[in-house]
Amino acid sequence: MKIGFFDSGIGGLSVLHHALQKLPAEQFLYYADVSHVPYGEKSEAQILSYVDAAVDYMLAQGVKAVVLACNTATSVAAASLRRRCPLPVIGMEPAVKRALDLYGERRVLVAATPITVRGEKLRTLIERVDSRHLADMLPLPELVRFAEAGIFDAPEVEEYLRGALAGYELEQYSSLVLGCTHFNFFKDSFRRVLPESVKFVDGNEGTVNQLIRELDRCGLHEHGRQSVEYHVSGKYTPEYIAALFARLDAMSLIG
């Protein structure tokens, strides 16, 4: 049986990329809701309807677990999905706690989509883990559009980031939390804009570790040959996906 991975577009591939390394005997299904990307500026009601439809589709494909490889979808829809879904639902969470645990002597900058930044889930998380009030929020909606257009290491990306970060005293920050899975594709541009002392932190490893724990708990591990199915629009050719994974390999080398 397959593990379903869901995102509005290519961002969730960064989570799948990590899962493929950690779970060599599993079968995966990746579904991207490209007709509605980006999610980060939609209403909560719209996102709920999109996620419900996507998960119903994956359930019809016989998946054994669902990974919401999208911080925005998790923020809006994870709780309701877990109430109605008969199998494990694993969501994303901006790695604020990890950043504070690792680098909590200085400020932490949390970059995410606008709806995640405004959402109750992130506010509740920060209230729980940030007793010293060190975390600041940074919405970066245009990065999702750049990613979906295949624009990565480009002057317009760097210009956008410099403008978005212009109001922050960047030397105060220990780390940048990548609170949207699309943002993992832009570490090279972030690195040119941020001081070398600012480290990157994301929730991909924690999400995959939680998936593994759920598979263990439910006795759902496979012992066969790894495979991936991509249920997405025509632009997601094997060559395109291979190029995106190659970019993620390169981004993983940037600290």
Pair (193, 107) in one structural domain: yes
Catalytic residue selected from 69, 180, 198, 248: 180
Reported as half-sphere exposure (CB side, CA atoms, 13 A), residue 254 has a value of 20
Distances from the Cα of 169 to the Cα of 106, 109, 154, angstroms: 12, 11, 24
Residue at which a domain ends, from 171, 187, 202:
202
Pair (190, 214) in one structural domain: no
Q: What is the CATH number of the domain that holds 10?
A: 3.40.50.1860
User: Considering its fold, how many domains does the chain have in total?
Assistant: 2
Pair (192, 208) in one structural domain: no
Pair (154, 176) in one structural domain: yes
pTM: 0.95
Question: Phi and psi of 139, rounded to 5°?
Answer: -75, 135
Sign of CA dihedral 106, 121, 14, 212: positive
Pair (137, 62) in one structural domain: no
In this structure, the number of other CB atoms found within 10 A of the CB of residue 131 comes to 10
Give the tens place of pLDDT for each residue, 27-78.
Answer: 999 999 999 999 988 999 999 999 999 999 999 999 999 999 999 999 999 9
Pair (175, 139) in one structural domain: yes
Give the tens place of pLDDT for each residue, 66-107.
Answer: 999 999 999 999 999 999 999 999 999 999 999 999 997 899
Pair (37, 120) in one structural domain: no
Catalytic residue selected from 70, 96, 99, 144: 70
Could you list the residue range(s) of the whole structural domain that residue 13 is in? 2-92+204-251
Pair (210, 88) in one structural domain: yes
Pair (80, 118) in one structural domain: no
Mean pLDDT of 105-134: 94
Reported as half-sphere exposure (CB side, CA atoms, 13 A), residue 17 has a value of 23
Q: What share of the chain is helix, strand, coil (3-state, %, to 5)?
A: 50, 15, 35
Quickly state the pLDDT bin for 251 (edges 50, 70, 90): very high
Pair (114, 86) in one structural domain: no
Is pLDDT of 235 > 90?
A: no
Q: Give the pair of three-digit tokens for residue 109.
A: 């900058």
218 tagged catalytic:
no
Pair (190, 149) in one structural domain: yes
pLDDT in the model for residue 177: 98
85 tagged catalytic:
no
Quickly state the pLDDT bin for 233 (edges 50, 70, 90): confident
Pair (128, 197) in one structural domain: yes
